[in-house]
Amino acid sequence: MGETTRLAARHCKPLAAGTPALDARAAADFLAQLDGWRIEGGELRREFKFPDHHHAIAFVNAVAWISHRQDHHPDLEVGYNRVVVRYSTHSVGGLSENDFICAARVDALLS
């Protein structure tokens, strides 16, 4: 089982008040388990391209289902044939393990 698959098999956990954001090293370790994602402006970000609007919206709906089931929601930017997914954990003021779990689950949609 690959690293991304293992990460996608995990579940987001509620974070206690005062939980700190991941430090740069921990975030880099998680990022190494993902393909195509980058950390930019304190967010985990990836752009996905599709053949048309229908496919882009179907992807958005699938991401929404993941978000609902994990209770962890990304910011989405939707264009005609592209979707930008951005994760950060507002309650910790940065990135948490939950962001990387959800990113891996999003990647699993397309594998």
Query: In whole angstroms, how far apart are CA 14 and each of 70, 73, 100?
Result: 10, 13, 14
pLDDT score recorded for residue 1: 57
For residue range 34-54, what is the model confidence (pLDDT) as tens digits? Answer: 999 999 999 999 999 999 999
* Ranges of residues in the chain whose predicted pLDDT is under 70: 1
User: What is the assigned CATH class of domain 3-9+20-109?
Assistant: alpha beta
Helices of type H across 1-111:
3-8, 24-31, 53-70, 97-109
Beta 82-87 vs 75-78: how paired, if at all?
antiparallel
Query: In 3-state terms, what secondary structure has residue 92?
Result: helix
